[in-house]
Amino acid sequence: MKPPVALVTGAGSGIGKATAFALARDGYKIGALGHTQEEISSTVDEVLANGGEAVSLLADISDERQMAAAVKQLTQQYGRLDAVVANAGINGVWAPIDDLKLAEWNHTISINLTGTFLTIRATVPELKRFGGGSIIVVSSINGTRTFTTPGATAYSVTKAGQVAMVQQLALELARHHIRINAVCPGEIETNIEANTSLRKEGETAIPVVWPEGQVPITGGQPGRSEDVADVIVFLASDRSRHITGSPIWVDGGQGLLR
């Protein structure tokens, strides 16, 4: 039997990079997709150095043609597709609703929500062609379990939309033996803050005093990218064969406090 193949978007850093490594250790060939060649090449090089197989796919997930070309490149190189991890995203601009510009709103929607749609739309025909598979969408506790992040309206809407997309598609895709689930991380040590612009926080912050440490299970410390990656590997595998349409919160209990 040929090794399974996984596409991981946003594979150049954080959760995406950890997921690429974790899937490679589990025997997957990796399509590492991102919009920055240097980061993607670094991920691929590390997978190869550890005895895995990976290919670099340069694409903007919000660009229909680029995504179609990337998926075609992956399936032509490895001959199949078994798992899709729609991880790429940004925090975008967090600002009061009357200060949030339409262009800022559109940018967050385009990357996080339209990008997820295009990733799924480009890969579903390939999953069908190879007899099924698993799709994992990386959402967030924001918009699904908590709503207290100052000014994160656009971001929270995209994260809620991703879970709705997962639940809507679970029944549609089941007849094709394609499972689709969402992981919803809480505070995780990644560099997504580089894609965050926080403006006028004082106008939107909610004055609440949290219990000591926002992540109970780790004594307040953020989770690691690997904590999310391990859940994604489980959802990609046959070990989760009876799970579809489900959001799974990977937040150490943080969302229950907030």
What CATH code is carried by the domain that includes residue 150?
A: 3.40.50.720
Are 198 and 150 within 8 A, CB to CB?
yes
Domain that holds residue 211: 5-257
Tokens of 100: 């949030």
Provide the pLDDT for residue 192: 46
CA pair distance 229, 131, nearest whole angstrom: 24
Confidence grade of residue 195 (pLDDT, cut at 50, 70, 90): low
Q: Is the pLDDT of residue 256 over 80?
A: no
Determine which of 12-26, 85-99, 113-127, 181-195 has the lowest per-residue pLDDT on average: 181-195
**Is the pLDDT reported for residue 10 higher than 70?**
yes
Amino acid occupying residue 121: R
Q: Which residue has the higher pLDDT, 213 or 51?
A: 51
Radius of gyration, CA atoms only, the chain: 18
Band the pLDDT of 199: cuts 50, 70, 90.
low
Residue of higher predicted confidence among 201 and 86: 86
Residue 174 has pLDDT above 60, yes or no: yes
Q: How many C-beta atoms surround the C-beta of residue 219 within 10 A? A: 9
pTM of the model: 0.90
The mean-pLDDT minimum among 88-92, 204-208, 242-246 falls in: 204-208
Q: What is the pLDDT of residue 32?
A: 98
More confident residue, 16 or 199: 16
Given a cut of 70, is residue 29 above it in pLDDT? yes
- Is the model more confident about 63 or about 216? 63
Structure tokens at 21: 């490594």
195-223: average pLDDT:
59
Question: 155, 182, 183, 215: which one is catalytic?
Answer: 155
What end-to-end distance do the CA atoms of the chain give, in Å?
A: 46
According to DSSP, the residues that pair with 180 across neighbouring strands are 135
28 is catalytic: no
**pLDDT the model gives residue 201:** 58
Q: Classify 140 as helix, strand or coil.
A: coil
Q: Is the pLDDT of residue 153 over 90?
A: yes
- Band (207; pLDDT cuts 50, 70, 90): low
Per-residue pLDDT tens digits for 41-57: 999 999 999 999 999 99
Q: Average the pLDDT over each of 79-83, 173-177, 214-218 and give the range with the smallest value.
A: 214-218
The DSSP element (H or E) to which 137 belongs, if any, is strand 133-138
Cα(16)–Cα(190) distance, integer angstroms: 10
Mean pLDDT along residues 207-228: 67
Q: Count up the domains in the chain and report the number.
A: 1
Q: What is the maximum span of the chain, computed from C-alpha positions, in angstroms?
A: 57
pLDDT in tens, 75-108: 999 999 999 999 999 999 999 999 999 999 999 9
